[in-house]
Chain A
Amino acid sequence: MRLLAWLKLHRDASVALLLFAGYLTLLLTTADSLGFMRDEGFYFASARAYGDWFALLWRSPAEALQKATLDRYWAINHEHPSLLKALFALSNRWLSGAFAQTSSSFRFPAMVLSSLAVALTFVWGRRTLGRGGALVAALSFAFMPRVFFHAHLACFDLPVCALWLLTGYVYVRSLESPRLGWVLAAGIAYGLFLDTKHNSWIFPFALVLHFVFIRPVTLWRELRTGAAWWRRVPLAWLSMLLLGPLVFCALWPWLWHDTAARLREYVQFHTGHEYYNMEFLGQTYWKPPMPRAYAWLMTLATVPLVTLVLGVAGALCLRRERPSDHVFWAVSLLMSYAPWLSSGTPIFGGTKHWMTAYPFLCLFAGLGFEQVVEALRGARPWLARPLLVGACVLVGPLVMTLHAHPFGLSAYTPLVGGAPGAATLGLNRTFWGYTTQGLAPLINQRAPRHAVVFLHDTAPQSFAMFQEDGRLRRDLRGSLDIAASDVALYHYEPHMSRVEQQIWLEYGSVAPDAIATFDGVPVAWAYLRKHP
C-alpha cells in the first residue's frame, strides 16, 4: 500500500514536472517572435540598475549598503516592488549566455513562475480532482490566449497569478496540517506575493471571506453567544501578518531607509493611479465612471467559451470533499474581480489585472470536466472517455492560443467574432506598443542607413532591446520626434489617432508603407518618409 501511495504521489509529481517543463519550453521557443511591451522596457532598465547594485554588493558590501548608494540604484521604477525585477537582474547576470537573445534572460524568471502556476494548478487540482480533471484545469489555464501572451513577459501579471496560487495553496495546506512548516511557509509566500505586485493587497479579504464561509453556522453561533470565535483564527494569519511584511521589506532595498514615507508613497501611487485610455465598445474611457461591465465582458470576449462553461458547471456542482479548497477557489476568483465592481477602478490593463482569477476559474473547469464525463457516462457510455472529452474541451483553447501568438492582445474568441468582430465592436485592438515586431521586416529592409525611427508607443528602452537582440538594425536611432524621423510607427488606439494625423502632415502621405495585421485587422503600421 505504501508503495502504491508513493507511486501515486510520484506519478502526479511527474505530471506536474512535465507540465512545468513543457510550458517553460513552449514559452522559451516562442519568445523570440514576441515584441517588447512599454513596461518591459522600463523593467529591463530597472533590472540593469538593480543588477549593477548586486555586483557592487558582491564587490563592496559596505558601499552598496549605504543609503545614498541604495537610493541611486533602487530609486528607478520604485513605484513597483522589487522581487521580479531583482530576479530579472540576476537571471540576466547569470544566465544571459544560456539564451540566444538577451531579452530571454530578463524574461526567464517570469516564464518560470508562469510555468509554476500551470504546474501548481494541476497539483492543487489533484487534491480534489482526478488526474484528468486536474490536467484539464492546468491546460485550460495554460491555453488561455491572453495568459499565454502575458506568460512570456518580463512583467508582473503572470508572476502575481503564480504567487496568489502558491500563497493560497500553502495557506489551505496550513489549515489542515499541524506542522509549523506550512504556517511559516504561508508567511514567507505572502511576503513574496507582497513584493511581486499590489494584487496582494486584496488577498487578506479573500482570507477573511474564506474564514467566514467555511463554517458560517458555527461562526454565527459563536458571534451570537459571545464565544471566543477568534480562537478559530488560523495561525497562518499571524504568520502572514508578521512574516509577510518582513520578507517584503527585506527583499526591497528601496524600503530599507525612510520606510514609512516610501511605503506611503508606494500605496498612494497605486490607490491614486492615473487613468490611462482604454477603448471599450467603441468608446474611449480615460476617467471615471468606468464601465462596470468591462471585466465581465472582456472575460467573455477573451477566455475560450468552453473553459468558461466548464468553470461555471464546476462551480455549480461542488462536491462535499475538501470544501475548504473549493471555497478558497471561489473567494479568490471573486476577490480578483472585486475591484471592477467599482466604476472608479481603472481599466487600462485590459484583462491582465484580474488574471489572478483564472487559475481558480480553471480549477472549477477541472471540476466541470469531471461532471461532463460523469454525465456522459450515464447517457452515452461509449463517449465517456476522459481522454476523448479532454481533447474536445482543450483542442479549441490550444489552437486559439497558438494562433494568437504573437498578437495576444489582439486575440478575441468566436463569441465576439474573433479579432475582426472585436474590432468592429470597438474593443481594444492593441496597447503597449509591442507590435513594432510585426513591422521589423519593413524597417530593416527599407529604412535608410542610420535612419531615425519615430517610436510612437514603443518605449525607447524596448526599442533598444529590439536592437540588442538583433531584431532591428543597430544603425537605426529611435526618436519621439516625428519631424526628425525617416520612418514613423503608429500603434493603433483611437485616442492616439492624432499621432497618425501628425505623420500624414509631416510625411505628406496618408498611405502606410507596411501594416501589421492580425486575422486581417490592422494593429500597427509604418510610414517611410519619401525624400524629394
Chain B
Amino acid sequence: MRSLSRFLGLVPILGLAELLLHQCFAHRAPEFSDYQRLGPALLELKRPGVPVVVAPSWAEPLLRQVAPAAFPLAELARPDDSGFAAFLEVSLLGQSAPELAGFATKQLQQVGPFRVSLRQNPRPEPASFDFVTAVETGEVEVFLDVDEQLSPCLRRERTHWSTGGLHGHVAYPRLRHECGGGHFVGVTLIEDQDYRPRRCILVQPPAAGALVLRFTSVPASRRLLGFAGFSYFLERDTALDEVELSVAEAGSALGSYRAAGARGWSRFELVRGANGSVEVKLRRLLQSASDFCFALEAR
C-alpha cells in the first residue's frame, strides 16, 4: 500500500514528463527548410546507378520533392537491391535502412540534421542486360502465338497512359506492343507485397495461345535473374497459379516459373546454356488472371 501511494504521488510528474516528451517529439523531425538545404547537396553526391535510400522511408516524398533528379524511376522502382554496387543512404532521426544492414559505410557526411552515407554492397551482382529497359527502347520483338503460328505485335505510341485508380487496372503504358484482341506488352509499375513500386514488363497473355517476347541482343552471362508478380493490392487473394513464364535460349528451354498474386513479387533464377536469342513465352493458366508483370536481368 505504501509503495502504491509512492507511485501515485509520482503521477503529476508523469503528466509533466509526458508533456515535455511530447514537445520534444513534435519538433524532432527536420523542417522543410532542412530538406531544401539538403537537396543540392544530395544531387552533388548522387551518382548514376547508385540508388538513394531514405531512412526512415516515410521521409522519402520530402526528398523526392526537393531533389527529384536523385530518384530516377528505374532506381526508385528497381526489381531488387542485389544488382547495385552501392547505395546513397539519407538517414534522419538516427534511423538506418534495414535493407542496407551489412552494407559497409564508405563515406559519411552530415548535412544539417541528415546523415548522408555511401553504403557498399558486399556482394553486388550487376546486370549485364536489363530486359525491361530493352522493351522500353524497342530492343524486342513481340508475337502472338496461336497454335505455333506467330503473328507480330505492333509497337505503338498513345498520347496518354491509361490508369485505373485504386481499384482499377495498373497503369497501361503509352508505348506498347499491341497484339490484337486488346492484349499488349509494355513497361509499367506494379506494387509488391510491401506495396513498394517495381518496374516491370506488363503482359496480358491471351485466353488461348501465348505471347512471345524475343530478345536478340542479350550478352552472354551465367544466369538470368527474374522477378514476377501482379499488382499485389488487386491479386493478393489469388493463391492459384495464374500465369506461366517460360524462357528458352537458342531454341533450348531454360526453365519456367508460375506466378500467383498471393505470392507477391517473387524471384526466380534460370541457368543459361548456349548463347543466342532469348525467348520469353507467357501463357495464361487462370482465366481470371489480370495484368502480369515481370522483370528479367542477365547476370
Residues of chain A whose beta carbon lies under 8 Å from any beta carbon of chain B? 284, 286-287, 304-306, 309-310, 313, 316, 368, 371-372, 374-376, 378-380, 383, 388-389, 392-396, 399-400, 403, 413-414, 417-421, 423-424, 429, 456-457, 480-483, 494-499, 501-506, 509-513, 515, 517, 519-522, 525
- A27→B64 CA distance, assembly (Å): 36
Closest B residue by C-beta to A506: B161
For residue B268, CB closer than 8 A to chain A, the reply is no
- List, in ascending order, chain B residues with CB within 8 A of A413's CB: 18, 22
* Cβ B9 vs Cβ A372 within 8 A: yes
Encode B8-28 as 1/0 by CB contact (under 8 A) with A.
110111111011011111111
- List, in ascending order, chain A residues with CB within 8 A of B24's CB: 414
Encode B164-193 as 1/0 by CB contact (under 8 A) with A.
111000110100000000000000111100
For residue B286, CB closer than 8 A to chain A, the reply is no
Q: List residues 21-48 of chain B with CB under 8 A from any CB of chain A.
A: 21-32
- A517→B27 CA distance, assembly (Å): 12
Rounded to whole Å, the gap between the CB of B137 and the closest CB of chain A is 17
* Cβ B71 vs Cβ A497 within 8 A: no
- A346→B142 CA distance, assembly (Å): 45
13 examples of A-B residue contacts, CB within 8 angstroms? A372-B9, A372-B11, A375-B6, A393-B15, A395-B15, A399-B23, A414-B18, A418-B25, A497-B196, A501-B77, A502-B171, A503-B163, A510-B76
* Cβ A497 vs Cβ B195 within 8 A: yes
Would A313 and B11 be within 8 Å (CB), given that A421-B25, A511-B68 are in contact?
yes
Rounded to whole Å, the gap between the CB of A279 and the closest CB of chain B is 9
- A388→B6 CA distance, assembly (Å): 18
* Cβ B237 vs Cβ A501 within 8 A: no
- A482→B21 CA distance, assembly (Å): 41
Q: Which of B55-63, B124-132, B143-151, B214-222 forms part of the interface with chain A?
A: B55-63
Rounded to whole Å, the gap between the CB of B235 and the closest CB of chain A is 11
* Cβ B189 vs Cβ A482 within 8 A: no
- List, in ascending order, chain B residues with CB within 8 A of A372's CB: 8-9, 11-12
* Cβ B163 vs Cβ A482 within 8 A: yes
Rounded to whole Å, the gap between the CB of B127 and the closest CB of chain A is 22
* Cβ B8 vs Cβ A371 within 8 A: yes
* Cβ A504 vs Cβ B14 within 8 A: no
- A286→B58 CA distance, assembly (Å): 21
Would A506 and B160 be within 8 Å (CB), given that A400-B22, A495-B233, A522-B58 are in contact?
yes
- List, in ascending order, chain A residues with CB within 8 A of B21's CB: 414
- List, in ascending order, chain B residues with CB within 8 A of A424's CB: 56, 58, 93, 95
Rounded to whole Å, the gap between the CB of A411 and the closest CB of chain B is 10
- List, in ascending order, chain B residues with CB within 8 A of A495's CB: 195, 233
* Cβ A396 vs Cβ B68 within 8 A: no
Closest A residue by C-beta to B198: A501
- A480→B173 CA distance, assembly (Å): 19
From A284, A306, A429, A525, give the contact of B15 (CB < 8 A).
Answer: A306
* Cβ A429 vs Cβ B161 within 8 A: no
For residue B73, CB closer than 8 A to chain A, the reply is yes
- A374→B76 CA distance, assembly (Å): 60
For residue B275, CB closer than 8 A to chain A, the reply is no
Q: List residues 252-287 of chain B with CB under 8 A from any CB of chain A.
A: none
- A515→B59 CA distance, assembly (Å): 11
- A374→B249 CA distance, assembly (Å): 84
Rounded to whole Å, the gap between the CB of A463 and the closest CB of chain B is 15
Rounded to whole Å, the gap between the CB of B69 and the closest CB of chain A is 9
Rounded to whole Å, the gap between the CB of A462 and the closest CB of chain B is 16
The number of A-B residue pairs with CB atoms under 8 Å apart is 187
- List, in ascending order, chain B residues with CB within 8 A of A304's CB: 18
For residue B238, CB closer than 8 A to chain A, the reply is no
- List, in ascending order, chain A residues with CB within 8 A of B166's CB: 456-457, 496, 498-499
- List, in ascending order, chain B residues with CB within 8 A of A496's CB: 166, 233
* Cβ A506 vs Cβ B171 within 8 A: yes
For residue B82, CB closer than 8 A to chain A, the reply is no
* Cβ A305 vs Cβ B165 within 8 A: no
* Cβ B189 vs Cβ A505 within 8 A: yes
For residue B197, CB closer than 8 A to chain A, the reply is yes
Closest 9 CB pairs of A and B: A520-B29, A418-B25, A392-B12, A511-B68, A414-B21, A396-B19, A375-B8, A502-B163, A306-B15
We find that the number of chain B residues with CB closer than 8 angstroms to chain A is: 61
* Cβ B12 vs Cβ A494 within 8 A: no
Rounded to whole Å, the gap between the CB of B21 and the closest CB of chain A is 4
- A482→B167 CA distance, assembly (Å): 13
- A189→B259 CA distance, assembly (Å): 56
Rounded to whole Å, the gap between the CB of A363 and the closest CB of chain B is 17
* Cβ B73 vs Cβ A420 within 8 A: no
* Max chain B C-beta neighbours (<10 A), residue from A313, A413, A499: A499
- A498→B196 CA distance, assembly (Å): 8
Known: A394-B15, A481-B163, A517-B62. 4 other contacts (CB 8 A): A423-B56, A424-B93, A509-B68, A515-B61
For residue B231, CB closer than 8 A to chain A, the reply is yes
* Max chain A C-beta neighbours (<10 A), residue from B5, B27, B68, B71: B5
- List, in ascending order, chain B residues with CB within 8 A of A513's CB: 65
Closest B residue by C-beta to A512: B65
- A401→B188 CA distance, assembly (Å): 43
From B8, B25, B65, B68, give the contact of A515 (CB < 8 A).
Answer: B65
- List, in ascending order, chain B residues with CB within 8 A of A512's CB: 61, 64-65
Rounded to whole Å, the gap between the CB of A90 and the closest CB of chain B is 35
* Cβ B16 vs Cβ A399 within 8 A: no
- List, in ascending order, chain B residues with CB within 8 A of A420's CB: 25, 28-29, 56, 58, 93
* Cβ B195 vs Cβ A499 within 8 A: no
Would A375 and B5 be within 8 Å (CB), given that A429-B58, A497-B191, A522-B62 are in contact?
yes
* Cβ A418 vs Cβ B26 within 8 A: yes
From B18, B165, B189, give the contact of A481 (CB < 8 A).
Answer: B165
* Cβ B12 vs Cβ A502 within 8 A: no
From B9, B14, B62, give the contact of A379 (CB < 8 A).
Answer: B9
From A306, A456, A481, give the contact of B11 (CB < 8 A).
Answer: A306
- A392→B21 CA distance, assembly (Å): 14
Would A505 and B8 be within 8 Å (CB), given that A306-B18, A497-B196, A519-B26 are in contact?
no
Rounded to whole Å, the gap between the CB of A489 and the closest CB of chain B is 12
Closest B residue by C-beta to A371: B8
- A481→B165 CA distance, assembly (Å): 7
For residue B110, CB closer than 8 A to chain A, the reply is no
- A421→B26 CA distance, assembly (Å): 10
For residue B109, CB closer than 8 A to chain A, the reply is no
* Cβ B30 vs Cβ A395 within 8 A: no
- A196→B38 CA distance, assembly (Å): 51
Rounded to whole Å, the gap between the CB of B237 and the closest CB of chain A is 7
* Cβ A393 vs Cβ B22 within 8 A: no
From A379, A393, A502, give the contact of B5 (CB < 8 A).
Answer: A379
* Cβ B19 vs Cβ A395 within 8 A: yes
- List, in ascending order, chain A residues with CB within 8 A of B160's CB: 483, 506
- A284→B173 CA distance, assembly (Å): 28
From A313, A423, A497, A517, give the contact of B197 (CB < 8 A).
Answer: A497
Would A380 and B9 be within 8 Å (CB), given that A306-B18, A418-B22, A495-B195 are in contact?
yes
- List, in ascending order, chain A residues with CB within 8 A of B194's CB: 494
- A211→B41 CA distance, assembly (Å): 69
- A379→B25 CA distance, assembly (Å): 33
- A414→B12 CA distance, assembly (Å): 16
